[in-house]
Structure 1
Amino acid sequence: MPRRFGIPGRAGGALAFLLGLCLLPVAAVAEGGRLVEMDFRLVMAAMAQRVGGNGQFALYQAQGRQEPRALVVVGGRLELDALGPKNPALQSGLLVSEAGGGILARTPLVVWEGAELALGPGTELHLSRSEGAFLASFGRLTLDGARVAGRGEAPAGNAEFRPFVLVAGTGVLTARDSRFEALGFDLAPAYAGVAVINRGIFPAVGCTEIRDTRLEAVGSLLLEDTEGATLAGNRIEAAQGAGIWLRRTRDLRLVGNRVVTPSGHGIRLSAGAARVQLLDNEITDAGEAGIFADTGSGAVLIRGNRIEGAAGDAISIKRSDCVSIRDNVALRAGGSGIRLRRSTAVEIRDNHLSRNAGAGVLVEDQPQRAETRLEGNRLAGNSRGLAGANAGAMRLLGNDFTDQFPRLLDGDLVYLARDLLGDLHGRNLLLLAPHGTALSGFRSDCPVMEGY
């Protein structure tokens, strides 16, 4: 269970980012949880308060009963595999104990605030698609060696509906060595597949943690307004959207995940995601960019990742600042190895960029006083080595172009060709300072930069 550390102010936030600590208060949940029936309209109202009302009519259409009900966990911690045959939910048929040992939910299953639903080793929860079932939690949802999967044909009332897992409000998700399968539909982000959305004035009751878990045929793994979460050692396959999508998150660590997503970005950061570490992840055959950060994302460390076969750019940074891209391998992208647009205080260091259909590094449309540092990168076999269009101020040192032929440079940077041809290993410092911009170093408040 995450510990609470009393580190004050901005120093505490930076230290949490660097060390992966959870600074949120951790509230204990009492034993003695129970299942009660609740009018489905009350559940929809509670969801609307936490994630908005988009797509709710589709949820109502998917319900298989004229007066739909939901099963709600209240009053404390409930272990799903401990339900006895005389439990009212089983006797009513809203939950069905299957011959293979799984439990089929034939109606939405909801965890209320202050409660916890625990799925232990070997527990399988199947969500009936044809009857509009899904799993939502405003409290704690804990999986340890468990499986949650959608099952069945589309409901008569809405053919697009698929079951999903939503943790919202003050809720927290903990999943270890578990599986999520066949979840999510493209109507609203909250229903994308597995979503943790911590909007509201009150913080979550702990830090979300997903480790060594497999997500297969899940639309997206979405975290929004979430702080201090850790995603480590997970495998995401056949995602229908972005494999991992971070919106307005803070102090997140993504470590050692493997992502295969033929329809969207491998990992996407947007809407001001900040103080995020992407470390040692493997992204293969992304339908768009391998890693895409945009719309005000900042203080992002992208280090040690391998991105191969992305249909778009391997790493794309747009309208973001304070980004460190280090020690990554970008191979065979349909676009550029690294693409940078309208972003400030970015360092691109010690990356291997090879056989990309676009440039090894493309820098374009930079603000007038933006500064980019390229050091120690190896560029080989890309269609172009380094390309720029309104590239702003740049500092180049130690970049290896020895295997980057025939096109070393393109765009605004072609005038550097003579300098590079005489120094393909980049031993001499090259400074590009257009419009009289002075190279003055990066912002001192970037926690992803060396020396912070």
Structure 2
Amino acid sequence: MRKALPLLVVLAASVSMPLQANAAEMGDQSVAQLTDAVTALGRRLQPANTRLPDARDLLVGPLAVAVLPQDRPVSALDQLAGKATLDMIPADFMLAQLRLQAGAGFDTSMENAIAGSETEAIFISAGSISLQELADRAGELKSGAVERRADGILVRVPIVIWQDAALVLAEGDRLLLSTADGAFVANSGLITLDHAAISGTAERNSRLNAFRPFVTTVRTGALQAQSSSFSNLGYGGVGATGGISISGAPLYPARLRSHVTSSIFAGISSLSFFNTADVLVADNRFDETDGPAIALKGVTRGQILGNVVTNTHKAQAIDIQNRSSDIDINGNVILDSRGTGIFLANEVNDIKIAGNILSGNGRGAISIVEGRCVDISSNIALTNAQVGIKVRASDRLSLSHNSLVGNAGAGISVLDQSAGASLQLANNSFSSNLSGIDGATISRLELSGNDFSRQSPVILDGELSAHTAHLLQASAGRLDGSGPTFTINPSGAGNSADCEPRS
């Protein structure tokens, strides 16, 4: 049974019935208006080739929290000098190297997808080569390895790019990787795409039914793309075979920054970054992805800005884990993902989540498990299937100026705080959630300026319900955020140390 009785008793004593009715009416109106605005935004963004600038005129009022791409500089594509050295090498040798470099992220079953034990791979060992030149020269080295078609250049064998080499896809280039033949790209050098495309072909692989081509970057490599598209790539979830992946290694740091901007991702498994640094994913569109649309694990310094993510099939939209730190997740629109919109876990640190719109997600809008020094501000969490923002086993978090509206669970849920942990909730707005703030195993919560006037009937729930009367007494019955700071501190713990500012 929900513990709403203390709230109802205090409301009956201290708040008039007309005020209650007005608050409920305002709440219904707020939910309806915001839902209509986000629904219109979703309709505008429904075509898989649309991005946030295509809905610029709808980002007004509360939706203006989303940051538009016109405010950000364009990242330049790097270039490597020198004429390319091209050869054919045994695929077995290349796969052994890929297994070694990708480690646990390599799905060994993919070796079954390659057509025959005598398969060779295109090997770019040095210098820079265009896709057009690769088609000409590879065709001379091995008949049938490459085919020019009306819809692009079809490659039937793997492509290997070594650490001093680059593959350049220029405007209008379209690289088609043969699914039937088990083609893919393994890169430890540089891949650049400028108004170009990489796609897996539509047929199935008879030797490994689940196989789809992929592009994996390992060791010192980098991938850079602008205004390009990626489709029908990746299988097996997040890892070297999972769509587009960039994996670093402690002894082999990337020489160049990987960045993907203003691009379209349709029907891929995931865009993933592992154990690397200085990542930029901005102003892209992700639709119908299998795994997390964007995954960062063990990443230092990353920016996920202004992306649109819709209709993830199996997982959360944005997934940040494994001690990733110094990450900005700003101005993204996440609609109708199967799991949580933004998920942080496993000792993440120094994360900023601001100005995101999250609606209709199959779980919550934002979830943090074992996080530290996370700043969550000015986000809209609307009509998600579970909690608006969930915080578990985390410390030194600040949640401020968020709009938590019509979620099927609590607006904010706080669980399993360790002794001495603290959480600041300031100037958040709650409207028509199942409850306002739900809590269990609380150490210290500091509430200030939060607006509960449209949150009915349950403001505090779980272990926090016993503090409802004290909250209302401290605020003199006013729920619009005008009252003083209210601290819930059942453990008697003091404030934990502040987070250090970014350098």
Q: If the length of structure 2 is used for normalisation, what is the TM-score? A: 0.81
Does residue 1:239 correspond to 2:326, yes or no? no
- Find the residue that maps to 1:436 and give its secondary structure: coil
Does residue 1:409 correspond to 2:460, yes or no? yes
The question of whether the paired residues in 2 share the 8 Å contact of 1:336 and 1:360 is answered with: yes
The question of whether the paired residues in 2 share the 8 Å contact of 1:44 and 1:56 is answered with: no
Cα distance between partner residues in 1 of 2:137 and 2:352 = 52
Q: If the length of structure 1 is used for normalisation, what is the TM-score? A: 0.90
Structure 2 counterpart of 1:209, from 239, 259, 262: 259
The question of whether the paired residues in 2 share the 8 Å contact of 1:245 and 1:269 is answered with: yes
- Find the residue that maps to 1:322 and give its secondary structure: strand
1:164 alignment counterpart? 214
1:17 alignment counterpart? none
- Find the residue that maps to 1:92 and give its secondary structure: coil
Structure 1 counterpart of 2:495, from 418, 426, 439: 439
2:14 alignment counterpart? none
Cα distance between partner residues in 2 of 1:144 and 1:28 = 12
Map 1:34-433 to 2 at 5 A.
34-52=85-103, 55-83=106-134, 85=136, 88-89=139-140, 92-100=143-151, 102-186=152-236, 189-260=239-310, 261-421=312-472, 422-426=477-481, 427-433=483-489
* Pairwise CA distance, 1:143: 0.4
Does residue 1:33 correspond to 2:84, yes or no? yes
Residue identity matched to 2:369: K
Moved over 6 A (4+): none
Cα distance between partner residues in 2 of 1:52 and 1:438 = 44
Cα distance between partner residues in 1 of 2:142 and 2:150 = 16
Q: Which has the higher contact order (CA 8 A, sep 6+)?
A: 2
Residue identity matched to 2:359: E
Larger radius of gyration: 2
* Pairwise CA distance, 1:86: 6.3
Cα distance between partner residues in 2 of 1:209 and 1:53 = 24
* Pairwise CA distance, 1:419: 3.7
Cα distance between partner residues in 2 of 1:403 and 1:276 = 33
For each residue in 1:213-267, what CA deviation from the matched residue of structure 2 results, as whole angstroms up to 9, or x when unmatched? 1110000110111201111100010000111111000000111011111321010
Cα distance between partner residues in 1 of 2:153 and 2:188 = 21
Higher helix share: 2
- Find the residue that maps to 2:160 and give its secondary structure: strand
Cα distance between partner residues in 2 of 1:363 and 1:272 = 21
Cα distance between partner residues in 2 of 1:89 and 1:256 = 44
* Pairwise CA distance, 1:81: 2.3
1:12 alignment counterpart? none
For each residue in 1:74-128, what CA deviation from the matched residue of structure 2 results, as whole angstroms up to 9, or x when unmatched? 220001124575654576110111134x100101111111000000000000000
Residue identity matched to 1:126: L
* Structure 1 residue ranges without an equivalent (≥5): 1-19
Cα distance between partner residues in 2 of 1:27 and 1:278 = 25
The question of whether the paired residues in 2 share the 8 Å contact of 1:354 and 1:381 is answered with: yes
Cα distance between partner residues in 1 of 2:288 and 2:407 = 23
* Structure 2 residue ranges without an equivalent (≥5): 1-71
Residue identity matched to 1:387: D
Aligned length: 425
- Find the residue that maps to 1:240 and give its secondary structure: coil
